[in-house]
């Protein structure tokens, strides 16, 4: 499927299935995501870095769940599992449900993540990679963010005037605009999820390879917070616009 086709189709699918998407629940998750982001910023400013990273991870997770709930493509059983506290699952559902391929392979490959196979196989891969992902270098995280920007440019090209995007104020033109925004949010949340998911437990308990008191500005994810905050803020703002159309 061409770039403009699958992005438009995913956005249109979200609009068609609003009656199943539980937009109120999606809105509630988005509100929680904003609260967590504010908490993360405040803790980071105070130099309390482990909780700052934890609340960033929580904000990304809840924003991802909100987007998937908004799409409304999950059966009740799968939906229940998603909204429970299962950290990797939200990001894996974004990969499967939003279907932002072919960009998924590009982003996954950059972080040495394999998104082939079923959900269980992907989850095992995520858990195996967690120790390395928790210690990503600042330069690697910034490069990942830059990659997401390049992917967004590719989406923009796919939805460009050259590919037949309408230039007027018609419903089709509005759909193009919103589809582009959806594609960008999905890509950004995927990158943010990959960068943060490994920190859900490491920031709270001394039971793993990276303990809470080891979170300092020398750790890549802590140093990258000023880069990650605006990226997530942009996602939350756009997602709120999606919900306003529900």
Residue 203 host element (H or E): none
Number of domains the chain contains: 1
**Calpha distance 93→90 (Å, rounded):** 5
The residue-averaged pLDDT of 156-176 equals: 52
Note the pLDDT of residue 112: 84
Note the pLDDT of residue 13: 57
Note the pLDDT of residue 170: 47
pTM: 0.84
More confident residue, 5 or 87: 87
Range of the domain at 98: 3-244
Share of residues in the chain with pLDDT > 70 (%): 76
């Amino acid at each position: 499927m061409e770039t403009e086709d699958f992005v438009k189709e995913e956005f249109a699918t979200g609009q068609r299935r609003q009656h199943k998407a539980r937009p109120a629940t999606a809105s509630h998750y988005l509100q929680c995501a904003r609260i967590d982001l504010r908490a993360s910023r405040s803790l980071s400013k105070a130099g309390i870095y482990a909780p700052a990273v934890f609340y960033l991870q929580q904000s990304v997770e809840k924003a991802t769940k909100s987007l998937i709930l908004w799409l409304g493509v999950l059966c009740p059983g799968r939906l229940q599992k998603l909204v429970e506290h299962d950290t990797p699952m939200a990001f894996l559902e974004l990969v499967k449900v939003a279907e932002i391929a072919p960009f998924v392979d590009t982003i996954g490959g950059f972080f040495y993540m394999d998104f082939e196979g079923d959900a269980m196989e992907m989850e095992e891969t995520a858990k195996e990679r967690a120790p390395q992902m928790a210690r990503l270098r600042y330069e690697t995280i910034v490069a990942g963010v830059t990659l997401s920007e390049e992917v967004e440019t590719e989406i923009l090209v796919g939805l460009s005037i050259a590919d037949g995007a309408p230039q007027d104020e018609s419903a089709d033109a509005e759909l193009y605009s919103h589809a582009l925004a959806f594609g960008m949010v999905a890509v950004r949340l995927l990158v943010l999820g990959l960068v943060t998911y490994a920190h859900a437990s490491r920031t709270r308990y001394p039971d793993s390879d990276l303990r809470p008191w080891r979170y300092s500005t020398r750790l890549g994810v802590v140093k990258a917070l000023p880069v990650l905050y605006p990226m997530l803020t942009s996602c939350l703002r756009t997602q709120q616009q999606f919900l306003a159309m529900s």
